[in-house]
């Protein structure tokens, strides 16, 4: 077997950004680590985004992923919330790219369908399937479980036309 590929999944958020790292070696997928980056709930937007960027930079150095995957932003009914999420998502795309890590993007429905088998699965179903697919995983939060699901989706689709590399 060749070298294991480390995949970082990122579930973007301004207040809470989930992350999860898995390793793929052939058909074998294993859990490495997961967690959540928390930023201040108040303060200047630039400072909050800078804190998110700094935390992701540290995470990238610690985990040394070969590839990354980020969830695409869904349409939000509140334009202000959608804009804030979009800004945080931009940081989540930028950090790995700046570190030289290729980044793929996946729609929420594609992630859920890939991991659970249903595109409209709820967070409980996603977390349960992540725990089943990654024995020993310890996703401490729904954000971390979602990030592991994003990493799993990328593991299942990497190299296929559905893996859209961010550009």
Please report the DSSP string for 90-114 in residue order: HHHHHHHHHTT--EEEE-HHHHHHH
Active site residue 71: yes
Q: Which of 11, 55, 67, 146 is catalytic?
A: 11
Give the active site residue among 55, 67, 71, 146: 71
**Is the alpha carbon torsion for 156, 136, 21, 116 positive or negative?**
positive
Catalytic residue selected from 67, 105, 143, 146: 143
3-state secondary structure of 62: helix
Residue 143 is among the residues annotated as catalytic for this protein: yes
CA proximity to 142, closest of 117, 156, 121, 166: 121
Residue position matching structure tokens 């996703």? 139
- Helix (H/G/I), strand (E/B), else coil: 158: coil
Residues 6+ apart with CB under 8 A from 90: none
> Would you say 69 and 104 are in contact if contact means Cβ atoms under 8 Å apart?
yes
Known catalytic membership, residue 11: yes
Query: Which residues make Cβ contacts (< 8 Å) with residue 109, sequence separation at least 6?
Result: 119, 120
Catalytic residues: 11, 71, 143
């Amino acid at each position: 077997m060749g070298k294991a590929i480390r995949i970082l999944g990122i579930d973007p958020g301004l207040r809470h950004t989930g992350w999860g790292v898995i390793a793929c070696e052939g058909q074998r997928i294993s859990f490495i680590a997961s967690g959540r980056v928390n930023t201040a709930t108040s303060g200047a937007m630039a400072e909050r985004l800078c804190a998110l960027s700094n935390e992701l930079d540290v995470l990238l150095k610690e985990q040394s992923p070969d590839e990354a995957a980020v969830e695409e932003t869904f349409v939000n009914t509140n334009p202000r919330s959608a804009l804030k999420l979009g800004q945080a998502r931009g940081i989540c795309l930028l950090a790995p790219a700046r570190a030289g890590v290729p980044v793929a993007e996946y729609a929420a429905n594609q992630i859920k369908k890939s991991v659970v088998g249903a595109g409209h699965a709820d967070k409980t179903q996603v977390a349960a399937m992540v725990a089943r697919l990654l024995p020993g995983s310890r996703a401490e939060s729904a954000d971390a479980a979602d990030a592991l699901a994003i990493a799993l989706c990328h593991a299942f689709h990497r190299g296929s036309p559905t893996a859209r590399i961010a550009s």
